Amino acid sequence: MRISLEDYGIHNDMEDVVELAIYQVLSEDRSACDCPQCHVDMKSLMLNRLTPQYRAVPKGEESRTEIRLNDLERDLFNKVVAESYRALAKVKGEPRHDTNRTFLVNSIEEVVVVALQDILRQEKRELDYDSLSKVMAHVLNSLEPRYTTTHKGHVFSRTVEIDPAYLAKIYSSIYNALTASSIS
Ligand SMILES: [Zn+2]
């Protein structure tokens, strides 16, 4: 089967957490730039250093979650706050206000989709929306995220350079997800 972005629904709750942390840190530092480019650059830096929390989103449902920073577990809260200051310092040091790459994407998602398509074809299996969403969320949670910013409309514009060992890890993670009891 050919898998497109409309065939499954997933959301990384960490994106909402990071968003809140960025608003907080920007409100404390009036000298910081809050243009869309600096904002998304901070978000990308932070998301690549925090453990992703993908979950399947049922068709037609709102993907964002209502999260309050103060509700986070203490260790995670401290890590998120520390990462937001780190990202702010980095972006302030090397701002790229004018590149207009304000669309954020976890580039690993594309690689997982291609690998999953390949496996399903070999196994002669088809997955429905919910199962596909569960597999994608499961696999992406087991891999280090590689968020990158891109121009809007250029989702997955460039295939990520993947070394064979990493690709093996992706395949192994997909097989694990497919044999998990929760996937029909
Ligand atoms: Zn800026």
Average pLDDT, the chain: 90
pLDDT for 183: 66
Ion ligand 1 nearby residues (CB, 5 A): 33, 35, 38, 97
pLDDT for 157: 47
| 73-108 pLDDT, tens digit each | 999 999 999 999 999 999 999 999 888 888 898 989
Q: Is residue 167 part of a domain?
A: yes
Q: Is residue 26 part of a domain?
A: yes
Count of domains forming the chain: 1
DSSP of 13-31: HHHHHHHHHHHHHHHH-TT
Distance 41 CA to ligand 1 centre (A): 9
Structure tokens at 91: 């972006």
Are the CB atoms for 45 and 7 separated by under 8 Å? no
Distance 48 CA to ligand 1 centre (A): 20
Q: Is residue 98 part of a domain?
A: yes
| 37-48 pLDDT, tens digit each | 999 999 999 999
Q: Is residue 184 part of a domain?
A: no
Q: Is residue 36 part of a domain?
A: yes
pLDDT for 178: 93
Residues 6+ away with beta carbon under 8 Å from 114: none
Are the CB atoms for 57 and 133 separated by under 8 Å? yes
Residues 6+ away with beta carbon under 8 Å from 168: none
pLDDT for 181: 60
How many C-beta atoms surround the C-beta of residue 163 within 10 A? 8
Domain range enclosing 62: 5-179
